[in-house]
Amino acid sequence: MHELRGAGPVALRYPAGDLLVVTGLPGSGKSTLMRRCVRAPLIDSQLVREEYAARLPGRLPYALYRPLARLAHYRRLRRAVLDGGPLAVHDCGTLPFVRAWLVRAAARQGRRVHLLLIDADPAEARAGQRRRGRVVSRYAFARHRGAAARLRRLLFGAGRPPAGCASAVVLDRGAARALREIDFSAS
């Protein structure tokens, strides 16, 4: 378990073939960090959502096509995990069974899962949502805050990664901004 605050490192290196789960509040910068830094295939639910939105006529509310977008995301995730190789995964954190499945699937393949939490203050995360023009409802944000609080209690209370995770790195927004590379070249 590593907590990195402020300037932080410019690179994080993980063993070749392992999986990295990136989690945090909506608006904390998960998708931005992954697009900027990850040097491996990435599965980001936001990318699937944007693909669906581009194909649909007009500006349909996300709630109408959310089930299809989520199904497509989980199908893409399953395929990528079963294909093997390094992988970075966007995790909203509100569905613990997803992380548990990733841990089991990786273990069957002799791979490990690592966790990266962007530990943004709720006000920072809300500001991030407003900047990108995608604000989640109060109800959804409350669910995300609850999931993040449970994860923080585990990480900081027990001082260890969640069950099945080989490591955990906690970045504040400053450390996330300083990070320039996440790769899977360590041995």
What does the H/E/C string look like for the chain? CEEECCCCCCEEEEECCCEEEEEECCCCCHHHHHHHHECCCEECHHHHHHHHHHHCCCCCCHHHHHHHHHHHHHHHHHHHHHHCCCEEEEECCCCHHHHHHHHHHHHHCCCCEEEEEECCCHHHHHHHHHHHCCCCCHHHHHHHHHHHHHHHHHHHHHCCCCCCEEEEEEECHHHHHHCCEEEEEEC
Give the HSE-up count for residue 141: Cα atoms under 13 Å, Cβ half-sphere: 17
Using CA atoms, how far apart are residues 27 and 168, in angstroms rounded to an integer? 20
Q: What is the pLDDT of residue 32?
A: 92
Contact 38, 182 (CB under 8 A): yes
Using CA atoms, how far apart are residues 168 and 51, in angstroms rounded to an integer? 30
Residue corresponding to tokens 């581009």: 54
- pTM value is 0.91
Domains of the chain: 2-186 (3.40.50.300)
Using CA atoms, how far apart are residues 181 and 170, in angstroms rounded to an integer? 16
> Tens place of pLDDT for every residue, the chain, 187 residues?
888 888 878 999 999 999 999 999 999 999 999 999 999 999 998 888 888 888 887 778 877 888 888 899 999 999 999 998 999 999 877 778 888 999 999 999 999 999 999 999 999 999 988 988 878 889 989 999 999 998 888 888 888 888 899 999 999 989 999 999 999 988 7
Quick one: how far is CA 91 from the chain centroid?
4
Which amino acid appears at position 20 of this protein? L
Q: What is the pLDDT of residue 10?
A: 92
Structure tokens belonging to residue 171: 């970045």
